[in-house]
Amino acid sequence: MADYTKTKRTTLKRAHERGSYDHDKVHAILDEALICHVGFIHDGGPAVIPTAHWREGETLYIHGSSASRMIRALEDGAPACIEVTMTDGLVLARSGYHSSVNYRTVVIYGSGRKIDDEAKKLATLKTFMEKIAPGRWDELRAPNDQEMKATTVLAFDLVELSAKIRDGGVEDEPEDMNDPVWAGVVPVRRTFGVPEPDPQMRADIGLPGYLKNYTGPG
């Protein structure tokens, strides 16, 4: 598959060598991340809202209350900028200037469209749940009419975007190499703890297989 096409907005100006337009790399970041940040204009000014997201093919989805300001601002196709970041390490150099962070990011530009078809809406909400916990959807009570009415799903085509990745070590000045300062990378790893059952849950319900040794999406 060809790379995503660069545009004026997605062509990296600084540290351009860290940029990527590769589909697989972009998809991997979006699929592993649980939260994205959605930037949009509300009442004439900028707003950024964090929310959960999921991907199907070349489409990114978000959902929210039908009454939320973000959903109401974007459901008619207003422009948005969506950003995802995964932090992978602290890069501690011999100078503050060269200290950095290892990261994987994706920035997406586009306009959303509201999913009005109820069957499609239900199917993609299932995809969202399956991203979080594969196999869980079929155990759950199906959403009722009121819940479906209260939830809006927006779709954004993955067309204008870029990824930026820093995954290296320390990059110090040659004259600083002998300074008596520890330098290196402190890895950042996301872990999930032991599931804590709801105290009101029935005693005969055991831990489902998809939560045993759970490591998260992606």
CATH number of the domain encompassing residue 56: 2.30.110.10
In a domain, 82, yes or no: yes
**What local confidence, expressed as pLDDT, does residue 218 receive?**
74
In a domain, 10, yes or no: no
In a domain, 4, yes or no: no
Residue with tokens 């402190």: 186
* Surface-to-core class of residue 106, CB atoms within 10 Å of its CB (0-12 exposed, 13-18 middle, 19+ buried): buried
Cα angle for residues 156, 160, 166 (degrees, 5° grid): 110
Question: Is residue 120 a contact partner of residue 63, using CB atoms and an 8 Å limit?
Answer: no
In a domain, 44, yes or no: yes
Strands 35-42, 100-111: pairing is unpaired
pLDDT band at 188; cut points 50, 70, 90: very high
In a domain, 49, yes or no: yes
**pLDDT tens by residue, 149-181:** 999 999 999 999 999 999 999 999 999 999 999
As for how many domains the chain has, the answer is 1
Q: Which domain holds residue 147?
A: 16-189
Residue with tokens 């992978």: 88
pLDDT band at 102; cut points 50, 70, 90: very high
What are the backbone dihedrals phi and psi of residue 162, each rounded to the nearest 5 degrees, phi first?
Answer: -150, 155
In a domain, 134, yes or no: yes
Mean pLDDT of 197-206: 94
In a domain, 204, yes or no: no
Mean pLDDT of 132-145: 94
Residues 6+ apart with CB under 8 A from 58: 157, 158, 159
